């Protein structure tokens, strides 16, 4: 299947021959469909905070001294954001979308009179997209000017610096931020960071520790032909494809922090609208702290009663832990589990990374949703699933997305250290069975692509998970350039 040149390429990329062989066998075997029981809803699976819940979570946030790091996935190019404008240039025909865009060019933060005044609509689009002007069609979203202020304009990257300063400051005044970028945009991000961070350090009285991380080539996957053979380019070399955002679990695994906050690069607002975002970020972190402390406490109590060996005490504590796991994480254990293995099973379930995920009321936005599934060990758990992970031929699961009340805005706070302060090896908690195979093309030839379990999907499948309803104002993605004309971005 592989030749000597292939093996050299594997070595350069950090892929073992065994891993490559396993990838190819996946095209033959596929992935098992998940056993999805129901959508998570406020009646079961999604917590709607009471005023008392908010108070407890906020108090936990303000009293904590844990290290918090912002992790911002920012590898993608902004080309999809401008897809409709690219269509105008390629067709040579102005569309209604293009007319609306050019008629409001002065409303965008990237507008300058020098660049755009006197231009025809077609010239405006060309200058926005191509290197003769702004070159936004080939830049990443993080480097685009999103917001205009009375005395300034800010990129999406800068808005994350502002957000971090307002909730993630450690006792020494440091803000820790890790941004995942693609290799071709690394220098651009470094230059942007160096040119702007001093301004925000002075304004907010903080010190930024900003690190850029690259997705490892070892996480790329080998493309396959339609008959499941290695896909080779015209020159005979293998075609590798990015494994998807699930590969970023390795980047998160390298972060030295107690808590990691994950939010996409384009989900920002003007500072005028940031108050609710900050409030809910603090509440989610506070809830996470409360949950991890209870997990640690139960582990310690379980170890103590097991050491003493009193069966009645062990049974009583196991019941208490089971109720906690069910109420907080929707983890229910099979009734057939024998007493002899129950304490060890509960301890293993407690001793895992924890995440609290904000969930927004369904507004018809694309993306994954919250579900309750039955795992391979017979226990139930909360999972964020994409539509491709549900069996379309199963009538029981076909309507689950339609019945969901909430969707995933990618608003996660994650605890990645254990009771002793040591970091979990996050690779141990990935569900390797949660990937999927998609159909793509390369230079007009059809191919199959292997997608790794998504970062907030299968890559965190074996974490303890809580879903919390958050208000829509906390979710303001920029999927198309027209989204920048929403009030949360215009002001």
List the chain pLDDT tens, one digit each, 491 residues.
899 999 999 999 999 999 999 999 999 999 888 899 999 999 999 999 999 999 999 999 999 999 999 999 998 788 889 999 999 999 999 999 999 999 999 999 999 999 999 999 999 999 999 999 999 999 999 999 999 999 999 999 999 999 999 999 999 999 999 999 999 999 999 999 999 999 999 999 999 999 999 988 898 999 999 999 999 999 999 999 988 888 999 999 999 999 999 999 999 999 999 999 999 999 999 999 999 999 999 999 999 999 998 999 999 999 999 999 999 999 999 999 999 999 999 999 999 999 999 999 997 666 689 999 999 999 999 999 988 888 888 887 777 877 889 999 999 999 999 999 999 999 999 998 888 898 999 988 999 999 888 999 999 999 999 999 999 999 999 999 999 999 999 98
> In the chain, what are the domains?
14-74+156-490 (3.90.550)
Question: In angstroms, rounded to a whole number, what is the distance separating the alpha carbons of residues 78 and 484?
Answer: 13
pTM of structure: 0.94
Contact 174, 209 (CB under 8 A): yes
Q: Which residue has the tokens 């998970």?
A: 465
Pairing mode of beta strands 174-181, 207-214: parallel
């Amino acid at each position: 299947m592989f030749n000597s040149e292939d093996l050299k390429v594997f070595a350069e990329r950090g892929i073992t021959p065994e891993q490559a062989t396993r990838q190819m066998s996946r095209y033959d075997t596929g992935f098992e469909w998940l056993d999805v029981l129901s959508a998570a809803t406020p009646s079961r699976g999604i917590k709607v905070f009471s005023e008392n819940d908010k108070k407890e979570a906020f108090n936990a946030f303000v009293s904590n001294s844990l290290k918090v790091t912002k992790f911002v996935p920012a590898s993608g190019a902004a080309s999809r954001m401008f897809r409709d404008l690219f269509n105008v240039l390629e067709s040579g025909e102005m569309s209604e979308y293009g007319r609306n865009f050019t008629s409001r060019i002065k409303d965008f933060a990237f507008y300058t009179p020098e660049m755009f005044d006197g231009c025809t609509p077609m010239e405006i689009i060309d200058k926005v997209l191509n290197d003769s002007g702004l070159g936004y069609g080939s830049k990443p979203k993080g480097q685009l000017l999103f917001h205009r202020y009375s005395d300034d304009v800010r990129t999406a990257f800068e808005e994350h610096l502002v957000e971090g300063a307002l909730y993630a400051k450690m006792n020494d005044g440091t803000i820790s931020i890790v941004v995942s970028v693609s290799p071709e945009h690394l220098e651009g991000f470094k230059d942007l960071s160096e040119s702007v961070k001093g301004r925000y350090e002075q304004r907010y009285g903080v010190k930024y520790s900003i690190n850029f991380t690259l997705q490892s080539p070892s996480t790329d996957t080998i493309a396959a032909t339609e008959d499941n053979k290695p896909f080779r380019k015209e020159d005979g070399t293998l075609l590798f494809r990015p494994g998807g955002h699930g590969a970023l679990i390795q980047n998160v695994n390298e972060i030295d922090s107690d808590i990691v906050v994950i939010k996409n690069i384009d989900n920002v607002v003007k500072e005028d609208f940031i108050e609710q975002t900050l409030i809910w970020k603090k509440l989610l972190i506070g809830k996470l702290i409360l949950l991890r402390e209870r997990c640690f406490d139960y582990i310690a109590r379980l170890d103590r009663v097991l050491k003493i060996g009193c069966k009645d005490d062990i049974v009583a504590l196991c019941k208490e832990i089971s109720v906690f796991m069910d109420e907080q994480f929707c983890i229910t254990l099979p009734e057939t589990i024998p007493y002899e293995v129950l304490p060890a099973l509960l301890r293993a379930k407690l001793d895992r990374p924890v995440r609290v995920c904000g969930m927004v009321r369904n507004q018809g936005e694309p993306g994954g949703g919250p579900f309750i599934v039955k795992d391979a060990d017979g226990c139930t758990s909360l999972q964020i699933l994409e539509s491709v992970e549900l069996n379309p031929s199963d009538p029981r699961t076909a309507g689950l997305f339609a019945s969901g009340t909430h969707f995933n805005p990618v608003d996660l706070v994650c605890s990645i250290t254990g009771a002793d302060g040591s970091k979990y090896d996050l690779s141990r908690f990935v569900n390797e069975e949660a990937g999927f195979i998609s159909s793509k093309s390369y230079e007009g030839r059809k191919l199959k692509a292997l997608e790794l379990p998504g970062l907030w999907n299968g890559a965190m499948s074996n974490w303890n998970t809580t879903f919390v309803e958050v208000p829509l104002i906390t979710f303001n993605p920029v999927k198309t350039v027209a989204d920048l004309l929403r009030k949360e971005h215009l002001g």
